[in-house]
């Protein structure tokens, strides 16, 4: 709650985490998130997961 002295992590802009505002992640945010996940998958030898993430990226760019 605001003003009660407790610290709280800020929600990322556009995340829609602040209620039912209907916000969607921006395409730039989505692309960067998928790229990060893809890099983590490849770094851990998860080729199948990387392929799925790549397919999601293509889907959202189309």
Name the domain count of the chain. 1
pLDDT in tens, the chain (62 residues): 555 656 566 655 555 555 556 788 888 999 999 999 999 999 999 999 999 999 999 998 88
Domain of 51, in residue numbers: 27-61
- For residue 45, being part of any structural domain is answered with yes
Residue that the structure tokens 């730039």 belong to: 28
Quote the CA–CA distance of 38 and 30 in Å, as a whole number: 12
Quote the CA–CA distance of 19 and 55 in Å, as a whole number: 30
- For residue 1, being part of any structural domain is answered with no
**What's the pLDDT at 3?**
58
């Amino acid at each position: 709650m605001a003003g009660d002295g407790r610290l709280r992590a800020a929600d990322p802009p556009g995340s829609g985490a602040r209620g039912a505002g209907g916000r969607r992640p921006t395409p730039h945010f989505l692309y960067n998130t998928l790229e990060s996940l893809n890099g983590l998958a490849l770094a851990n030898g998860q080729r199948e997961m990387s392929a799925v993430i790549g397919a999601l990226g293509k889907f959202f760019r189309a």
